[in-house]
Chains A and B, each alone.
Chain A
Amino acid sequence: MKKIEIITRSYKLEDVKESLTALGIKGMTVTEVKGFGRQGGHKEVYRGAEYQVDFVPKIKIEVVIDDEIVAEAVQAVSGAARTGQVGDGKIFISPIEDVVRIRTGESGSDAI
């Protein structure tokens, strides 16, 4: 099992969700986050005073999936979230040791 964390533009949430649910993925966790990468921040102006805002608002989507659909999921997300402009975000993939469904006590792939 793998966890994929997708950090991308907030307005891409629906597109990414649809691309993942189309693969049969049934759950995900979404968090509003702030950060910066190569995109850097942006400038805001209040009564003539300029502020550099370093932390750009993004969303983070976390899903845990079986190993065999990881490549497909990454490809789907990349297609859904890509604009081609700097700031499209990143996908992090990490191994998951186990998953337990609290209600039933099931574990492993059955609990995803």
Chain B
Amino acid sequence: MIQSGDTAFILVSAALVLLMTPALALFYAGMVRSKNVLGTIMQSIIMISLITLEWIYIGYSMSFGPDVAGIIGDLSFAALSGVGTAPSPDYATTVPHIVFMIYQCMFAVITPALITGAFAERVRFLPFCIFSVLWSVLVYNPVCHWIWGGGFLGAMGVLDFAGGLVVHLTCGVAALVACIMIGPRKGFGKRQFIPHNLPMTVIGTGLLWFGWFGFNGGSALAADEIAATAFVATHIAGMTGMLTWTLVEWYHIGKPTTLGACSGAIAGLATITPAAGFVGPNSAVCIGFLGGMICYLAVLAKNRFGYDDSLDVVGIHGVGGLIGTIALGFFASTAVNPGGADGLFFGNPGFLMTQLTGIAVVGGYTLVISWIILKGINAFTPLRMEENDEEIGMDTSEHSESAYQA
């Protein structure tokens, strides 16, 4: 039966999650050079349009349609057929089915946008759009089904409250594959890639944090005590991540930086995402701390390995999602959420193994399919910008406009 409180909460949460995509655009755009600001923003915001269309015609049905062998949803809900104002019998049973659909749509939108940070400043717009749509169909939708839509990982007991696997690990793995295949920016290792406007990145961070309350809180799919738990855990992990990164950086580099504080907050928020509704506040502090610490080390490791993940999608989102999913195997407690599981610290080591299995399956699948999609597209049209266009910058060469007039 429809509850007006739950419906209002999920509608507002959907709006909050939508806001995260333009927020991400600002977060990323501040970190690129001024000649690539609009190109970077465009790669995020166009997803709102492209992926929403993909979602309503095929994505929602693939993800949440009636299950086929635990692998994929059938196409009963294609073009939103049968997705109306009556509640779904399977998902979010106290809100109109169409509200659940649009809430999930916002997750599908932001996930491919997150990947763009890995190949920022060097990818052509058309093949990028083709990649994002194909990736959503072939990676996001199946993985979403496996975990949230009645597929085999969910049936095995893999837990992912708001997208540590479905969103952050998938985008992190795809980011790693993409930035290695596409290659580093011209002059990588020799030239300076200094962020052109960090205040823009700070605004993006604030709006992402704000939106994350809808991302994690709304994933309770009801305005209830689990939503409250997730909301609080989200804030706690974000602030712990910010403090941890700042302190570690202060100790390591000698000065605390604004970009470090923002990066730590996003790392903490990404890390708590799979665990938000399953852990208490003290566990959230531990998870935020792990996120801040390990993601900082992962970003440093990038410089050693020498791949050009321009804006650290692998180090922050990929590693954050990975750490959070593992941490859930330790910190989950049925005292917090009876619908969840007990982790290792609450006497159930088997659940940790389940989580690790989920990581191996999702990570392995994403790696292979992302590689195939990128190879396939590159065979038809080059992903990479021409050298001269890259020098001129995406704003002019890809979009014929510029962000700043002299």
User: Distance in Å from the Cβ of B81 to the closest Cβ of chain A?
Assistant: 46
Chain A positions 43-72 with a Cβ under 8 Å from a chain B Cβ: 44-49, 51-53
Do the beta carbons of B255 and A49 come within 8 Å of each other? no
User: Distance in Å from the Cβ of A65 to the closest Cβ of chain B?
Assistant: 30
A residues in contact with B260, CB < 8 Å = 47
User: Distance in Å from the Cβ of B298 to the closest Cβ of chain A?
Assistant: 11
Please report the number of residue pairs spanning A and B whose Cβ atoms sit closer than 8 angstroms.
28
Do the beta carbons of A48 and B194 come within 8 Å of each other? no
Please name the residue on chain A nearest to B312 by beta carbon: A47
CA distance A45 to B249 in the complex (A): 10
User: Distance in Å from the Cβ of B270 to the closest Cβ of chain A?
Assistant: 15
User: Distance in Å from the Cβ of A48 to the closest Cβ of chain B?
Assistant: 5
Do the beta carbons of B257 and A51 come within 8 Å of each other? no
- The answer to whether B263 has its CB under 8 Å from any CB of chain A is yes
CA distance A45 to B300 in the complex (A): 12
Please name the residue on chain B nearest to A54 by beta carbon: B192
B residues in contact with A49, CB < 8 Å = 303
Please name the residue on chain A nearest to B299 by beta carbon: A47
Do the beta carbons of A45 and B257 come within 8 Å of each other? yes
Chain B positions 177-233 with a Cβ under 8 Å from a chain A Cβ: 192-195
A residues in contact with B195, CB < 8 Å = 46
Do the beta carbons of B194 and A45 come within 8 Å of each other? no
User: Distance in Å from the Cβ of B148 to the closest Cβ of chain A?
Assistant: 32
Do the beta carbons of A46 and B303 come within 8 Å of each other? no
User: Distance in Å from the Cβ of A46 to the closest Cβ of chain B?
Assistant: 6
Please name the residue on chain B nearest to A44 by beta carbon: B194
Do the beta carbons of A48 and B303 come within 8 Å of each other? yes
Do the beta carbons of A48 and B192 come within 8 Å of each other? no
Please name the residue on chain B nearest to A49 by beta carbon: B303
Do the beta carbons of A45 and B255 come within 8 Å of each other? yes
User: Distance in Å from the Cβ of A47 to the closest Cβ of chain B?
Assistant: 5
CA distance A48 to B257 in the complex (A): 10
User: Distance in Å from the Cβ of B289 to the closest Cβ of chain A?
Assistant: 18
A residues in contact with B360, CB < 8 Å = none
A residues in contact with B300, CB < 8 Å = 48
Chain B positions 244-294 with a Cβ under 8 Å from a chain A Cβ: 249, 252-253, 255, 257, 259-260, 263
Do the beta carbons of A48 and B255 come within 8 Å of each other? no
CA distance A47 to B261 in the complex (A): 10
Category for how many chain A residues contact B: under 10
Do the beta carbons of B194 and A47 come within 8 Å of each other? no
CA distance A9 to B399 in the complex (A): 38
CA distance A106 to B24 in the complex (A): 58
User: Distance in Å from the Cβ of A49 to the closest Cβ of chain B?
Assistant: 6
Do the beta carbons of A51 and B194 come within 8 Å of each other? yes
User: Distance in Å from the Cβ of A54 to the closest Cβ of chain B?
Assistant: 9
B residues in contact with A48, CB < 8 Å = 249, 252-253, 296, 299-300, 303
A residues in contact with B257, CB < 8 Å = 45-46
Please name the residue on chain A nearest to B262 by beta carbon: A47
A residues in contact with B263, CB < 8 Å = 47
Do the beta carbons of B194 and A46 come within 8 Å of each other? yes
User: Distance in Å from the Cβ of A36 to the closest Cβ of chain B?
Assistant: 14
Please name the residue on chain A nearest to B254 by beta carbon: A45
Chain A positions 20-48 with a Cβ under 8 Å from a chain B Cβ: 44-48
Please name the residue on chain A nearest to B195 by beta carbon: A46
CA distance A44 to B249 in the complex (A): 13
Do the beta carbons of A51 and B252 come within 8 Å of each other? no
User: Distance in Å from the Cβ of B262 to the closest Cβ of chain A?
Assistant: 10
> Among the interface residues A46, A48, A51, A53, which one has the most CB atoms of the partner chain B within 10 A?
A48
User: Distance in Å from the Cβ of B77 to the closest Cβ of chain A?
Assistant: 42
CA distance A68 to B299 in the complex (A): 61
A residues in contact with B253, CB < 8 Å = 45, 48
CA distance A86 to B159 in the complex (A): 60
User: Distance in Å from the Cβ of B44 to the closest Cβ of chain A?
Assistant: 20
User: Distance in Å from the Cβ of A41 to the closest Cβ of chain B?
Assistant: 10
A residues in contact with B296, CB < 8 Å = 48
> Among the interface residues B192, B249, B253, B263, which one has the most CB atoms of the partner chain A within 10 A?
B192
CA distance A46 to B196 in the complex (A): 11
Apart from the given pairs A47-B260, A52-B192, 12 other A-B contacts in the complex at a CB distance below 8 Å: A44-B194, A45-B253, A45-B257, A46-B31, A46-B194, A46-B195, A46-B259, A47-B299, A48-B252, A48-B300, A48-B303, A51-B193
Give B residues with C-beta under 8 Å from A. Answer: 31, 192-195, 249, 252-253, 255, 257, 259-260, 263, 296, 299-300, 303, 312
Give A residues with C-beta under 8 Å from B. Answer: 44-49, 51-53
14 pairs, CB–CB < 8 Å, chain A vs chain B: A44-B194, A45-B255, A45-B257, A46-B31, A46-B194, A46-B259, A47-B259, A47-B312, A48-B249, A48-B299, A48-B300, A51-B192, A51-B193, A51-B194
Q: Which 3 A-B pairs have the closest CB atoms?
A: A48-B300, A51-B192, A47-B299
